[in-house]
Every structure is written in structure tokens, then in C-alpha cells.
Homo-oligomer: A and B are copies of this chain.
Amino acid sequence: MRLAELSERSGVPTATIKYYLRERLLPPGERITATKSEYGEEHLRRLRLVRSLIQVGRMPVATAREVLEAAEDESLSQNARMGAAVWALPHGAEPDEDDPHAARAREQVDTVLRRMDWSHGQELGDTSPAYRMLVAAIASLDRLGYPHDTEHLLVHARLAGELAVADLDLVETYDTPPERIEAVVALTVLYEPVLLSLRRLAQTEESGRRFAE
């Protein structure tokens, strides 16, 4: 398939595909002559994934490249690749080291990890982007004076645990390691808006139930 057809089938402008090729988000097509390259179905699939990461996941192009590179890094084991890919996902603001709010948040996060018996989180601690993202978010809540007692966080953590079980069940429907790695990345990113919009719908529902006049 030519670049034009790849563009037509994906709905992505040719100029943008060229840009992605340049940025190494998409592997080059098979060079036929100096002016013709052939692209396959896997290019189409990859292109759609890239678009999803960038448009649905609102991920910077550079980050998407890191995620994809980690996902296919041949030097890593399957498990390490999965971890590396999720590791590279965007993770918002970093906590401020010399902030008393951040310090309190850190303590609280550690308590939650302990109570949930999440040993990986405890071991990885501050080196994990997700951990730092959580600390920064809770520090913000603290700074604004919003309640976030440990019990309340544990409710969220428990629900997050249930979500993770459902997500991983889905990943396990894929048989081969490469498929699984791509699935983890795609499902982690693509289910985020699903979850957030469901939460807002549920909030509307619940708030209507409680505060209806």
C-alpha cells in the first residue's frame, strides 16, 4: 500500500504521516524505488495506535515514541517491556521535594500501599512515575484544603485494584507476548477516558439523586 492509501484508510493526512515517520513513531515502509515505499497492514495498525495515544491519550509525540520504543525493546524481557512501556506513559506534574504537603502526601501514599499490600509499589516507591504522580495529586488536594483521609483513598485504591483485575483479564485473552504488550499500552491509555467519563456520568446521576429539588 502507498502512503496515499495509508492516509485514506486511516484518515490521517499524508503530511502528518510523513511527520510521524520522521519522528520515528512509525517504522519506514519497505523501499521499492527511490520514490516508492510499500506499507503493510501492520503500518496501518501502528498508525491507528499512535493516533490513539496522541489524540485520545493526549500524549506528547516524544512520549509516544518512548512508550513504543520501550514496548518493542528487544533487549528486555516481555515483562520488563510491559513495565517500561507503562513506565513511560505521561504522568503529569512532579511533586515538589521541599513541600510539606508533598511530604504528608508521601506518607499517606505509603500507608495506602502498605494497607493494600502492594509490594511492588512499596519497593519501587519514589522511582515509579505512577507513585510520584499520585503524591503530586494528593499534595494538590492537601494544599487546597480538600479532605483526602486514608480511608477515602483506600476506597479508591480498592476500586483501582478491581479495575486492574478486569484489565489484566482482558490482556490475558491475547496469546502472544507482543500482542499482550501492545494491549497493555493500548488498554491502559484508551480505557482512561472511558473510566473518567463513566465517573462523571455516575456523579451526575448520584448528585441528581441527592440534590434534586
Interface residues, chain A, CB within 8 Å of chain B? 45, 48-49, 52, 55-56, 58, 77-79, 82-83, 86, 89, 91-93, 113, 118-121, 124, 128, 130-131, 133-134, 136-138, 140-141, 143-148, 152-153, 155-157, 159-168, 170-173, 183-184, 186-188, 190-208, 210-213
Q: A190–B196 Cα gap in the complex (Å)? A: 12
Interchain residue pairs with CB less than 8 A apart (9): A49-B144, A56-B140, A86-B204, A120-B205, A121-B205, A130-B197, A146-B170, A159-B159, A159-B163
Complex contact B48–A144 (CB within 8 A): yes
- 7 A-B pairs besides A86-B204, A118-B202 with CB distance below 8 A are A58-B92, A138-B194, A147-B173, A152-B170, A155-B166, A161-B202, A164-B206
In the complex the two chains form, what is the Cα distance from A148 to B170 in whole Å? Answer: 9
Q: Which 4 A-B pairs have the closest CB atoms?
A: A164-B202, A160-B198, A137-B193, A134-B197
Tell me which of B79, B89, B128 contacts A211 (CB under 8 A). Answer: B79
A143 touches B193 (CB 8 A): no
Chain B nearest CB, measured from A31 CB (Å): 27
Q: A77-B213, A159-B163, A210-B168 are in contact. Are A205 and B118 (CB under 8 A)?
A: yes
Please, how many angstroms separate the alpha-carbon atoms of A190 and B119 in the complex?
26
A202 and B146 in contact, given A137-B193, A152-B166, A194-B134 (Cβ under 8 angstroms): no
Pairwise interchain contact B201-A130, C-beta atoms closer than 8 A: yes
Which residues of chain B are within 8 angstroms of A166 by Cβ–Cβ distance?
Answer: 152, 155-156
Task: Quote the shortest CB–CB distance from A124 to chain B (angstroms).
Answer: 8
- Are A93 and B56 interface neighbours, CB within 8 A? yes
Q: A173 to B152, alpha carbons, bound, how many Å?
A: 13
Q: How many angstroms between the C-alpha atoms of A183 and B162 in the bound complex?
A: 26
| B203 A164 Cβ-Cβ under 8 A | yes
